[in-house]
Amino acid sequence: MPVRPYFAFFLWLGLWTSQLWLIPRYYVRTLELNYYPPQADSIAIPILGAWMMIILAGPFLAVGFWICLRRAKPEFLQWNVWSAATPARSTLWTIVFGFLSISTIHSIFENFSIGLPLNACAAIGWLYVHPSLRAIIVAGLKSDYLWLRTEACDVTGAVHLLPVNDLPGV
């Protein structure tokens, strides 16, 4: 599936800023559901901590995302891109964004179960951003060959990784 990098960037930007409203809704709803012990501190502390993180880290993350976006080679922007020259970094980014995607899936179910459909819809948006950002970062790694999973199979039916330069039409 091709990645639309600028769509992913602006979707990330919108989702990141929407957290200013979605995080307080989550904490208020979980307080109403008595998730916290009665002697616990108020929910203002985690809400303000999240706001500080969003406001202070947002510009740095946006600049980092934009730099990765500018370095990425557009012809390699596929969700299944792989850098053969830097397999450790490709694996690292796959694990990081795989973990984020799995935790986002959990967040979707939790938000629906506690009655926050808007938060769940935002989490669905993050499911597009995480693999897209992984593809943008891996496509920007300095390497001689970027690898894509192809649907070309051999006689046994096994799918092989081929260098992009060997693919027809590239």
Q: Are 146 and 73 in contact (CB under 8 A)?
A: yes
- Top mean pLDDT of 27-36, 79-88, 134-143, 154-163 is at 27-36
Position 41 scores a pLDDT of 65
45 vs 37, higher pLDDT: 45
Question: What are 85-121's pLDDT values in tens digits?
Answer: 788 888 999 999 999 999 999 999 999 999 999 999 9
Distance of CA 131 to the CA centre of its chain: 5
Helix H segments across the chain? 5-32, 44-71, 87-113, 117-139
Position 56 scores a pLDDT of 93
101-112 exposure pattern, b = at least 16 Cβ within 10 A, e = fewer: beebeebbeebe
Separation in Å, CA 124 to CA 26, 97, 105, 119, 169: 16, 14, 8, 9, 34
- 148 pLDDT band, cuts 50/70/90, is low
Q: What percent of the chain has pLDDT over 70?
A: 81
Least confident of 74-88, 135-149, 150-164: 150-164
Q: What percent of the chain has pLDDT over 90?
A: 41
Give the containing element (helix H, strand E) for 146.
strand 146-153
Which residues, 6+ apart, have CB-to-CB distance to 114 below 8 Å?
29, 30, 33
Name residue 161's beta-bridge partners.
Answer: 149
Position 11 scores a pLDDT of 93
131 vs 161, higher pLDDT: 131
Other Cβ atoms closer than 10 A to 13:
16
- Sequence spans of domains, the chain: 5-166
